Amino acid sequence: MNTMLDDREGFAAFLLRLRALGTPPRDLVAAMEATPRKTFVPGAWQSVAWSDRMVPIECGETLEGADLQAAVIAALQLEPGHRVLEVGTGSGFTAAVMARLAARVVTVDRYKTLAEQAKQRFEALGITNAFARQADGSNGLPGEGPFDRIVVWAAFDNLPRAFVDQLSTNGIMIAPIGAAEDTQLLAKLTKIGSRFEREDIAKVRLQPVIKGVAAVI
């Protein structure tokens, strides 16, 4: 099997799924195509790299399907000057894509292994404006805002009000809200004054936000 051809076919199928939902932003499509997804997907799962299924990665975590990642990045409405905070680095793919669309991306994960691997992938791809590190992102990074955009790949029980002060005026945060054992609502939260204006954009099933950092891995 020609892996490059396989990859192109996978990306083409992904693009068809996106177009079935409407016209995807051209800059987003270009950024995703320019980011070699297989670099971020474990070997055993490379054949489904561009599918909409979640795949397991190190530290017992998962990589969201390409379709959900694209929908979330599109909803962030990234612009070239934006500063972005991502909570839940995973393999680093979404941070790498966002770094092609924004000025600066800070991505944090509770697992040192994931943060270090993402850092190595960014370096290998020559991405110099994405910064991965191990940190407890359950309340964001209070000392480092404001950010223009925040995305969290783990679910909150309630509206994450602690993040309001970390967003710039009219900033956007995307995060799942709902009980851990249930389907959650993926919320687009826009900062208006000192509060959030909420718009639910999808149903998801993601792990709950966990406080603290992993001690060993």
- The predicted pLDDT at position 145 comes to 86
Domain boundaries, the chain: 3-204
Confidence of residue 215 (pLDDT cuts 50, 70, 90): confident
User: What is the DSSP secondary-structure string of 18-75?
Assistant: HHHTS---HHHHHHHHTS-GGGGS-GGGGGGTTSSS-EE-GGG-EEPPHHHHHHHHHH
- The predicted pLDDT at position 62 comes to 95
Q: Answer for the pair 141, 85: CB distance below 8 angstroms, yes or no.
A: yes
Residue 131 has pLDDT above 60, yes or no: yes
Confidence of residue 3 (pLDDT cuts 50, 70, 90): low
Residue 113 has pLDDT above 90, yes or no: yes
Q: Answer for the pair 192, 182: CB distance below 8 angstroms, yes or no.
A: no
Residues 46-95 pLDDT 10s: 999 999 999 999 999 999 999 999 999 999 999 999 999 999 999 999 99
- The predicted pLDDT at position 216 comes to 82
- The predicted pLDDT at position 2 comes to 57
To the question of domain 3-204 being in CATH 3.40.50.150, the answer is yes
Residues 143-202 pLDDT 10s: 898 999 999 999 999 999 999 999 999 999 999 999 988 899 999 999 999 999 999 999
- The predicted pLDDT at position 7 comes to 85
Query: How much is the average pLDDT of 95-122?
Result: 98
Q: How far apart (Å, rounded) are the C-alpha atoms in residues 99 and 56?
A: 23
Q: Answer for the pair 117, 58: CB distance below 8 angstroms, yes or no.
A: yes
Q: Is 201 helix (H, G, I), strand (E, B) or coil?
A: strand
